[in-house]
Amino acid sequence: MEKYTFISQSPDDTYKFGEQLAQQLMAGDVITLEGDLGAGKTSFTKGIGKGLGVQRVINSPTFTIIKEYKGSIPLYHMDVYRLEDSEEDLGFDEYFEGEGVTVVEWASRIEEMLPEERLDIYIYHNGNDKRTFELRPKGERFISLCKELL
């Protein structure tokens, strides 16, 4: 399995890294985020939103599960942590195959519904403001994207 690492030293590093990643993204891309509460999944997504040209403030979609934002490419931001039944399908495919980029927090909860080609990102808390991002690309496109990015 291919793995790429990025170390973030601050919330700003994380934001900028998200913004940088977004420059390489296109409609139909799916990014999954795993990491404990406070790891920085939503902070990273805010950076992705900036890079996609989203103007509105991005907030955690914990209670709504899915939020859509207009941008030069739309952003579909999901947090499936509170999905009652992980077999429940809220029409995820329509998003994954849609006109926008999808970012899924706690994606392992809907593992079976995720597309095979995607970029899985694990964020580890290293104490204080330090975070390790481990990128695990699935499919050729995301492998070359990671090589370019890191």
Binding site for ligand ADP (CB under 6 A): 8, 10-11, 13-14, 35, 37-43, 60, 105, 129, 131
Length of the chain: 150
Other residues' Cβ atoms within 10 Å of the Cβ of residue 109: 17
By C-beta, is 16 or 141 nearer to ligand ADP? 16
Chain residues binding Mg ion by CB under 5 A are: 41-42, 60
By C-beta, is 13 or 29 nearer to ligand ADP? 13
**Helices 11-22 and 41-52, axial angle in degrees (round to 10):** 40
DSSP-assigned beta bridge partners for residue 33: 105, 121
Tokens of 52: 């996609």
By C-beta, is 29 or 105 nearer to ligand ADP? 105
Least gap, CB of 141 to Mg ion (angstroms):
26
Task: Pick what 38 binds: Mg ion, ligand ADP, none; C-beta below 5 to 8 Å, kind-dependent.
Answer: ligand ADP
> What is the distance between the alpha carbons of residues 72 and 80, in angstroms, rounded to a whole number?
25
DSSP label at residue 129: T
DSSP-assigned beta bridge partners for residue 8: 131
Q: Which of 96, 101, 3 is nearest to 51 (CA)?
A: 101
CB 66 within 8 A of CB 78: yes
- Taking CB positions, which residue lies at the least distance from Mg ion? 42
Least gap, CB of 103 to ligand ADP (angstroms):
11
Task: Pick what 114 binds: ligand ADP, Mg ion, none; C-beta below 5 to 8 Å, kind-dependent.
Answer: none
Least gap, CB of 115 to ligand ADP (angstroms):
22
Least gap, CB of 69 to ligand ADP (angstroms):
16
